[in-house]
Amino acid sequence: KYGLSVTGIIHPEKVVRNRGARPGDVLLLTKPLGTGIIATAIKAGFAGEETVRKVIGLMASLNRDASEAMMEVGVSACTDITGFGLLGHACEMVEGSEVGFVIFASRVPVLEEALEFSRMGLVPAGAHRNREFRKGMVEVLGVEEPMLDVLFDPQTSGGLLISVAREKAQELLEKLRDKDIGAEVIGEVTAEAGKVKVVA
């Protein structure tokens, strides 16, 4: 069964799709990763109160301000990071297309607690399924296992992965930071069709 809920209206000429990234674009991420791993740690009784408050606050924050900023600047493509994790959704954006992504793991914002729990083995089953499903599309170069788990971690209310022309990236970053959104440039779009390369 497949369920879909429509909760608003949008002008048909103002739709931003998850396809349309262009070689030379840069990739921005608007929220840190790790909510799925931390939720697993909470259920296992390993997460402290401060960590719980932090992750709840992150999941409760909307993507509205980020989406408004990107609409003001104009972007090539965008998706939200949810159950397939960052790398799973990145694969969706390039699958069957003429472009690929390079993601620099060291630039990806991550909740430090998520890395700690990942090192302990507190990784949700969904992260393993995401990794197995997309292993044929993802090339990993020098990224340690705990970080790779975070990159595949299924997110609840994750941020936006935005592909934007390089010349517009700084303007978008400034608009996002003016709205207290700690977005980071995490990669770039290449002409290597249908591939996601993850570099340490």
Q: Residue 163, SS3?
A: strand
CA 6 to chain centroid, in Å, comes to: 22
Calpha distance 3→100 (Å, rounded): 30
* Whether the Cβ atoms of residue 179 and residue 66 lie closer than 8 Å to each other: yes
Checking if the pLDDT of 11 tops 90, the result is no
User: Looking at residues 148-164, what average pLDDT do you find?
Assistant: 97
- Please state which of the ranges 8-22, 40-54, 78-92 shows the lowest mean pLDDT: 8-22
Checking if the pLDDT of 10 tops 90, the result is no
* Whether the Cβ atoms of residue 52 and residue 105 lie closer than 8 Å to each other: no
What per-residue confidence (pLDDT) applies to 14?
A: 87
Q: Residue 187, SS3?
A: strand
Residues 85-134 pLDDT 10s: 999 999 999 999 999 999 999 999 999 999 999 999 999 999 999 999 99
* Residue 148 binned pLDDT confidence (cut-offs 50, 70, 90): very high
What per-residue confidence (pLDDT) applies to 4?
A: 83
Report the mean per-residue pLDDT for the chain.
Answer: 96
What per-residue confidence (pLDDT) applies to 2?
A: 86
Q: What is the 3-state secondary structure (H, E, C) of 5-48?
A: CCCCCCCHHHCCCCCCCCCCCEEEECCCECHHHHHHHHHCCCCC
What per-residue confidence (pLDDT) applies to 49?
A: 95
What's the Rg (C-alpha) of the chain? 16
Query: Is the pLDDT higher at 198 or at 2?
Result: 198
What per-residue confidence (pLDDT) applies to 16?
A: 95
Calpha distance 104→66 (Å, rounded): 22
Give the rounded percent of residues in the chain with a pLDDT score beyond 90: 93
Checking if the pLDDT of 165 tops 90, the result is yes
Whether the pTM exceeds 0.75: the reply is yes
* Residue 9 binned pLDDT confidence (cut-offs 50, 70, 90): confident
Consecutive H or E run containing 101: strand 100-104
* DSSP assignment letter at 123: -
